[in-house]
A and B are shown apart, each in its own frame.
Chain A
Amino acid sequence: MNTEILTVKNLTVTPKNTPNRYLVNNANFQLSAGKTTCIVGESGSGKSLTALSVMGLLSTQLQASGSILFNNQEITTLSNKALQGIRGKQIGMIFQEPMTSLNPVLTVGYQIGEPLTTHLNLKGQALKEKIASLLTQVGIPADRANSYPDELSGGQRQRVMIAMSIACEPALLIADEPTTALDVTVQAQVLKLLNELKTRMNMAMLFITHDFGVVADIADDVVVMFRGEIVESGNVKDVLENPQHPYTKALLACVPDAAGLKPLKPIDYAWLSDTKLSDTKLSDIKLSEKAA
């Protein structure tokens, strides 16, 4: 079963005032239902901009070109209003810092209920029951619906964000560094929860991270970005165990392993820029082909 949910073609993001500076350069990838694709890269590699482009939430200072097909519908040309009908309903989103993404003066129950009211027109008792069931699904007691965000721990807040994002059972869940602000044991729980939800709801998940350990735990496919370009993509096991691109190899050599067996090797950027990126570009390989 390999239903394509999202197809990104030739996505390019540039600042409006300097259109020859490519923040994301000609990115191509596909997402299938029930699969998690991780975009991994360092800060400034364009991974978050790629996610924001898919959501149509790019800053007004930036412009995107290329094609983004969501459920076979071109979403780059949609009006804001039409996009609002998709965002939060068919595309769920989770961000890095749960405290800044939640409204501090509204109860978490109210905030989880918002997309349900907006998109599904749920009210009254039905709404209450749905909120309770969502909270239970993410592992928070249903009576916490009346709590405010500051009364919850960081992990619980991120669970609330997850409950909000899956409220309308989206086909695509975009998670931008959702566990980066969390403690390692909490991170493990949240990753497990996301994985379970993805499988149960057969969602496609686009997961942005800088941590290869997290990639290894959660990804089916992985896309490696460097300076705005996808330098390598493919099945997670292939990429981690047998990286092809020199940047991926170099980046993996920087990751400390838990066993402490491998000496750390910092990236030699001078050497990297000598090896031409385009020579070894694998970005046109479709993820689904490699995964299949």
Chain B
Amino acid sequence: MNILEANNLVKTYTQRSGSFGFGSTLVKALNDVSISLKSGSTLAVVGESGSGKSTLARCLLQLQPLDSGDVIFGGQNLAKLDSASLRTARRELQMVFQDPFASLNPRMKVGEIVAEGLLIHGLGSKEEQQEKTLAMLKRVGLTADDMQKYPHQFSGGQRQRIGIARALVLQPKVVVCDEPVSALDVSIQAQILILLKELQTELALSYIFISHDLRVVRHIADEIVVMHQGKIVEKGLVHEVYVKPQHEYTKNLLSAIPGQSQTAAL
């Protein structure tokens, strides 16, 4: 069963061009993109910079308006909702961002950051909110003391844990992860990937996992779509696409993964 479907998404940006930017050209960041996410699974969206993968993430949550296309989630078309209903719908559709340094408000305590969603959605009494916040922070590997600290007091990996707690405390069904581990060291990356997988099983989450790193995707995803210049050039099950890529671009991408000469060693 599909928990989220996006049909024929189109998003166009105007880019200034020519001398002094007087001219303008249209860039199709999303050119008729359709994806579907199966309940409880992870769909990876891979591509290089400028392929439109982050635009896709933002357009799924309606953080950016679409030119056309439908995003079907929880029986509603998110693209057609007014902002109040959209806010309600987003409780179950959360996002984890790439840069844990930029995505947490430096002036808020960690407890406030994680509890803010509960506050906005009016879920439970103040005590219940505190309890939920603490439980979630503990689940992602932080402590009660950490609630009183500010984001700058944490390392990159811990900040990403805070970002995950912030998204998951609302008990979403779908989490869109936009390059959640690309800013992290490889050892921290492994911790976060394992945490995301554990949480997926425990909380029956479905992930859309945006990444440029095909090695990471191989580990976390069930299905994959490959984007190139705003279009999906290939989609399928991860193990099939990696073993038998059909599209020329996918083949290039896979052969460019570093370290394949000594894969056995790694």
Q: List residues of chain A with CB under 8 Å of any chain B CB.
A: 42-43, 154, 183-188, 191, 210-217, 237, 240-241, 250-260, 262, 264-267
Contacts and interface: CB of A to CB of B under 8 A. Distances in A.
Given A43-B185, A184-B48, A256 B219 contact: yes
Contacts of A255: 186, 215, 266
Contacts of A214: 258-259
Given A43-B185, A183-B48, A184-B48, A191 B219 contact: no
B262 A184 contact: no
Contacts of B256: 184-185, 187-188
Given A183-B48, A255-B215, A210 B257 contact: no
A254 B255 CA distance: 21
Contacts of B216: 256
Nearest to A256: B215
A250 B193 CA distance: 16
Given A257-B215, A257-B263, A266-B187, 5 more contacts: A214-B259, A250-B187, A256-B190, A256-B193, A259-B218
Contacts, number: 119
B10 to A, nearest CB: 24
Nearest to A44: B185
Nearest to B181: A256
16 contacts: A42-B186, A42-B188, A183-B49, A185-B252, A210-B185, A212-B186, A213-B257, A217-B260, A240-B265, A251-B187, A254-B190, A258-B215, A259-B242, A260-B238, A266-B187, A267-B187
Contacts of A264: 190, 193-194, 219
Contacts of B135: none
Interface residues of B, number: 37
Contacts of A237: 262, 265
A47 B156 CA distance: 19
Interface of B: 48-49, 156, 185-191, 193-194, 212-216, 218-219, 238-239, 242, 252-266
Contacts of B254: 258
B259 A216 contact: yes
B214 A210 contact: no
A265 B190 contact: yes
A188 B156 CA distance: 27
Contacts of B189: 254
Nearest to A241: B265
A83 B57 CA distance: 49
Nearest to A42: B185
A256 B218 contact: yes
Contacts of B215: 213, 255-258
A13 B185 CA distance: 22
Nearest to A181: B49
B259 A213 contact: yes
B266 A260 contact: no
